[in-house]
Structure 1
Amino acid sequence: MSPERSPATSRLLRDKVRGFRVIWLAPLLAFVALASWALASPMGASPDDDYHLVSTWCADPGKTWACEVGTDLTQRVVPEALVKSPLCFAHHPERSAACQKDTFSLDPVPTEMTHRGNFAGQYPPVYYAAMNIVVSPNLEFSVVLMRLINAFVFVAITTALFAALPSIRRPALVWGWLASTVPLGLFLIASNNPSSWAIVGVGTSWIALLGYLESSGRRKVGLGLIFVVSVIMAAGSRGDTAVYAGFAIALVLVLRFRNVRRFWMDAILPLVMGVVAGLFVLMSRQSQFGVEGLPSTAVSDPTVASAAAQSSDSFGHIATLLFNVPSLWAGVFGYWGLGWLDTGMPAIVTFGAITVAVGAVFTGLRVMTWRKAIALGAIATLLVFIPTWVLYQGGQQVGQEVQPRYLLPLIVMFIGLAMVSANGRSPRLTRTQRILVGVTISVAQLVALYFNMRRYIHGDTPGTGWNLDQHTLWWWDIAVSPMTVLLVGSLAFSVTIWILLFRTPEIAGISAKSEETEPVRI
């Protein structure tokens, strides 16, 4: 028989329970939700994965057991799975990922020659170098581990930022991610694509800098560090997001501009990081596409309306582009397919995700100042101008080359900035509105994850049944079943949303002591 607890011990346990905050569970649950997306698709499932996986394996010239120089410097010899993993199912949604068994082996020995990789510096090297650290002879394990690391990085940096931000800035952080990541953001953040870091870096850097300019002491140091890491992530993953990071820095400096000595001293760090972002742009060959346009290929998304046919008239071409650019924004919310643009999403996903995003933006517009209006207008202008200019320069139409994932970092920033408090006023949703948001986004995530998994497990064919555990054609060699991953991941996502919307004081409108050291004015 165990001895009875003393009154002091019982009191200590009660105090610990009372001191526990449900919000502490949010990071763990968010990671579990993202981990389910990391397992939801096979090797090679994210766009251009053959290019990015090869680039990762070849990032360290010293690992000759993983990647060898080919017949010339523009080619490499790598394990054939890296090159062939998407070939049998990309652009063939009716095929499950089981076709990989007949396409390649998982032998880690380099045997396949390829020219598709970051051998000429088209992309910045930081992302590939970081992921190369966990490259191992077990190809599938390495691929999944990289996805889980990306998911962890997102959760860790967002959690640290939430803790460091002044309380009045936390709603903008939460809403920026909550209203923009279903389904494309979840898919990409937990993928092997450098767009993972691009999205996280841009979506984090702007608000970390905003908090940095408004804080002091240890909080300021922490936010400055998060800002630096975020800019390096964004600029070190893609050339276009290096431009976005520099744009975000300029935007926040305009928002917080004060012609006083403290502002100019605080501005040194962001100006230095702006230069760093600019150097990454110069290092990346992606920057030339903003001037010359992207190389023309066939239409890449069948959901885009046929009205996007080429026009020989310049004015007509531009008008057609402007009329169809919104489909790129909608693609972030499921209007375009996931993966190689071939994993279609049901209308409930797109409608639900867009409804939440639009609702958040319009709620934020209730709290407006002229500086905030200028900043939102600048981002909106970029969301129109960038795809229009690049496609016009390349002689292309919406549906060719420029994809929604290229604009997702700007959309995260736009929604977050719309929800920024201004002059002490905070945009808030009522309890009923938050219930509707939570239910809508949770259902959209569940359906999106299910259809993404079904596409690779069964193939997008009728008559396969609803149960992913039955007649499974493809799945990882793990003890956890597909339906378990779906249900546990979706439950974790839903509980995370519930915690953020109803147990976070700054979101739920619960009284909380202000932490600002000075009045926040935008």
Structure 2
Amino acid sequence: MSRGSRTVLVWLVTCLAALVALTGWSMASPPGSSPDDDYHLASIWCAQGVDPDRCASVEGEPGQRLLPLLASGAGTCFATDFAASGACQDDLTSTKPQVATGHGNWGGAYPPYFYRVMSVFIGPEVPRSVLAMRLASSVIVVALVAGLAALLPRRRRPLAAVPLVLTSVPLSLSVLASTNPSGWAVLGAATLWPALYVAFEVDGWRRNALAAFAVLAAFVGAGSRADGCLFVLMSVALVLIIRVRHLRRAPVVTAAAAVCFVLAAAIFLSSGHASALTESLGYTRPELTTTQLLLINLSSLPTLWLGAFSAGPLGRIGWLDTPLPPMVAMLTVAAWFGVLLQGWRRVFPAKLVALGLVGAALVVQPMYLLMQSHVLVGEGVQPRYVLPVLVIFTGLSLLGTRGTTLRLTPPAYWGIVAALGLAHAVALHVQVRRYVTGLDASKILFGDDLEWWWGVGPGPTLVWVAASLGFTWVTAAVLRQALVRPGRPRGSARAGFGAGRSSATPPHSA
């Protein structure tokens, strides 16, 4: 087999492994288990307007809709109790619209595009429809990330997947393979800025393709949530600032950036949820002065950042009701921060400006929402709201002048792969266990004691094992692009997390 054939084969296997990993998270929990799924499922079922078979109107109540049981708040019967399995949904089998709710997007609070795309997969049975939506979201994630990696030149290719992989366990994976629009917000932020940034330094068909891809990524990000629009606006402004010298030399890319900006601004201004920037989130702490609130929130702000890795009181997934072992946070934070430290060893002016701006956004964005609503960290603002900014910050940390700064010696490479693979396996196991029996059971394999599982597809043990192996393969494949081996003629590479350029061979690429 030729080298090119092997490369294509590994590429296809990696995409398949990523899809298997996301499918594992899609099947790990029942309908209604994603954050605020009572709102988002209702919004999906009503995305195409009033329909007597899906989303019926309520006579005399224009703000309410009739929905099937599992597509309404009734499907979240297990929320807030990690000992309760998904078995409480067994009696919610009716598919006729019969539950009245006013909790949905028919008022236009969120952009409608995510809900409309997901509504294509509505079928006669709610559970199978939800599973189809999650699988469709997983396919979209793999398609966009793989497409970006294919368009980026080899030296920039790690920017497509490495930041997502490093920040994926467990929160990012749980929302990317869900019916929550936060998944699209993360995906848009992760793929937009690399496409725009690299488009300014390439020529020909690659430049035009990356410019078109950036518009698509902007639509995905802005079509998710109102804050997804802000992440798109921030990404475009960030790239234009650090590429200001290249704007005239690449009019096609500059025009694409303008289209992305206008698209996100138009969707944001038409979204009712944009009022969250000027109004309260619905909570308040009147007993605290502004100074007290400011100091407490500043000291607690890392809880929001590290919550994406399951650290701290906001590190629970689902409805913030699924606790994970401290091992998960220890392994994921160690791998992520170790890579960041290596990325910061090599900086240049544009990278410093970008890191400063995005680092400031990690503070200003949540602090503004918290102070505007006069609430504490954990009340109304969750880690998934800052996760897209965290992914962008991770990618910028890896940025080099002509490629990426990530250089991993074999011990560092295998250490990160093992850490992330183990953390993912533990997190997914807890997620599956939480819903098939509740966390009051603690067996490793899922046997005859199942209280809940899908009526189709493989069993929970096979899903867990396959998804864990798939994620480990993806981690190994995307990080192998940064693997270097000590050169023999002039001695070994320097000791440390990564090897220096002068004493290492070029990185291998998957």
TM-score (norm 2): 0.91
In the TM superposition, residue 70 of structure 1 has moved relative to its aligned partner by 2.0
Equivalent residue runs for 1:283-362 within 5 Å: 283-296=270-283, 312-335=288-311, 336-362=315-341
Residue 495 of structure 2 corresponds to none
Gaps of 5+ in 2: 486-503
| Residue 461 of structure 2 is aligned to residue 494 of structure 1 | no
User: Partners in 2 of 1:387 and 1:14 — Cα distance?
Assistant: 51
- For the structure 1 residues 151 and 425, does the alpha-carbon distance in structure 2 shift closer, same or farther, using more than 3 Å as the test? closer
Decide whether the 8 Å contact of 2:113 with 2:223 is kept in 1: yes
Decide whether the 8 Å contact of 1:67 with 1:110 is kept in 2: yes
In the TM superposition, residue 510 of structure 1 has moved relative to its aligned partner by 6.2
Pick from 415, 435, 455 the counterpart of residue 394 of structure 2: 415
- For the structure 1 residues 454 and 430, does the alpha-carbon distance in structure 2 shift closer, same or farther, using more than 3 Å as the test? same
Decide whether the 8 Å contact of 1:212 with 1:220 is kept in 2: yes
1:59-98 CA-to-partner distances (Å, cap 9, x unmatched) read 1126431111223331111112211444321001111111
Decide whether the 8 Å contact of 1:361 with 1:415 is kept in 2: yes
| Residue 418 of structure 2 is aligned to residue 439 of structure 1 | yes
Decide whether the 8 Å contact of 2:85 with 2:437 is kept in 1: yes
Residue 201 of structure 1 corresponds to 188
Gaps of 5+ in 1: 1-12, 298-308, 515-522
Equivalent residue runs for 1:256-267 within 5 Å: 256-258=243-245, 261-264=248-251, 266-267=253-254
Residue 54 of structure 2 corresponds to 66
User: Partners in 2 of 1:423 and 1:265 — Cα distance?
Assistant: 21
In the TM superposition, residue 310 of structure 1 has moved relative to its aligned partner by 7.0
Residue 491 of structure 2 corresponds to none
1:391-439 CA-to-partner distances (Å, cap 9, x unmatched) read 1111110110101011111111110111011256733122211111000
In the TM superposition, residue 497 of structure 1 has moved relative to its aligned partner by 1.6
Residue 234 of structure 2 corresponds to 247
**What SS class does the counterpart of residue 245 from structure 2 fall into?**
coil
In the TM superposition, residue 22 of structure 1 has moved relative to its aligned partner by 2.3
Letter paired with 2:111:
P
In the TM superposition, residue 312 of structure 1 has moved relative to its aligned partner by 2.4
Residue 482 of structure 1 corresponds to 460
Residue 43 of structure 2 corresponds to 55
Letter paired with 1:456:
Y
1:295-330 CA-to-partner distances (Å, cap 9, x unmatched) read 117xxxxxxxxxxx8752211210111000110111
| Residue 149 of structure 2 is aligned to residue 176 of structure 1 | no
Letter paired with 2:381:
V
**What SS class does the counterpart of residue 73 from structure 1 fall into?**
strand
Decide whether the 8 Å contact of 1:363 with 1:429 is kept in 2: no
1:219-269 CA-to-partner distances (Å, cap 9, x unmatched) read 112212221111001111100010110110000111111166314553121
- For the structure 1 residues 75 and 425, does the alpha-carbon distance in structure 2 shift closer, same or farther, using more than 3 Å as the test? closer
- For the structure 1 residues 260 and 498, does the alpha-carbon distance in structure 2 shift closer, same or farther, using more than 3 Å as the test? closer
Decide whether the 8 Å contact of 2:484 with 2:507 is kept in 1: no
Letter paired with 1:83:
S
In the TM superposition, residue 282 of structure 1 has moved relative to its aligned partner by 0.6
Residue 389 of structure 1 corresponds to 368
Decide whether the 8 Å contact of 1:23 with 1:500 is kept in 2: no
User: Partners in 2 of 1:23 and 1:204 — Cα distance?
Assistant: 18
1:147-197 CA-to-partner distances (Å, cap 9, x unmatched) read 001011000111110010122221222321111111000110000111111
Residue 384 of structure 2 corresponds to 405
Residue 80 of structure 1 corresponds to 69
Pick from 4, 15, 23 the counterpart of residue 35 of structure 1: 23
Pick from 155, 159, 166 the counterpart of residue 146 of structure 2: 159
Decide whether the 8 Å contact of 1:96 with 1:474 is kept in 2: yes
Aligned residues: 487
Letter paired with 1:221:
N
RMSD: 2.2
In the TM superposition, residue 24 of structure 1 has moved relative to its aligned partner by 3.1
In the TM superposition, residue 110 of structure 1 has moved relative to its aligned partner by 0.9
Residue 369 of structure 1 corresponds to 348
Higher relative contact order (CA 8 A, sep 6+): 1
